[in-house]
Homo-oligomer: A and B are copies of this chain.
């Protein structure tokens, strides 16, 4: 009858404002490098150290939240791909997009690597949509018989771990293409379709 026990505290107006200001500044600063001191962001945002720290207890939490909206877009992009391409093609393009996105956002690859490992919990909510997107892509491919059955999202992200290791230099493109090919072939191996 009553509301759920986990109350979604409405939060005070100034708290929300501070939070937004921090995120706005962080977005700017992170665009110029991942090694920005958190204290600098707090100062530029005009909030105290303590305030900053309560909103974002860890660096990963901040980075995840900063890119949350765009991460959500990437996740949603999976649906679009699934409706306009063959499942395996959709999966491949999605991986590529995820990789390129993570590469161009400073600190995002590290943050995801952190979150996708164990507990750490910080920013886990921001990452969840990506996992779900991967899940639906894998499901679609399994139904279509274009990948071997039984592959979990854990397996998947383990297979594409190299993504978080490629850094933007002169020859990142061919390396990424190679990795995508490699993973796709691996997922396809032993699939019902095209098998015999």
Binding site for B on A (CB under 8 A): 113, 116-118, 154-155, 158-159, 161-167, 169, 175, 178-179, 182-183, 185-186, 189-190
Docked-complex contact A117 and B175, CB < 8 angstroms: no
Point out the residues of chain B lying under 8 angstroms from A154, CB to CB. 175
B169 with A158: CB separation less than 8 A: no
CB atoms of A118 and B167 under 8 A apart? yes
Residues of B within 8 A of A116 (CB): 165
Check B167 against A158 for contact (C-beta < 8 Å). no
In addition to A158-B175, A159-B162, A185-B186, 14 A-B residue pairs with Cβ atoms within 8 Å of each other are: A113-B165, A117-B165, A117-B167, A154-B175, A155-B175, A158-B162, A158-B179, A159-B179, A161-B162, A161-B164, A161-B165, A182-B186, A185-B189, A186-B186
Chain B residue numbers with a CB within 8 Å of A179 are 158-159
B162-A118 in contact (CB<8A): no
Per the bound structure, the CA–CA distance linking A178 and B187 in Å amounts to: 12
Chain B residues within an 8 Å CB radius of A175? 154-155, 158
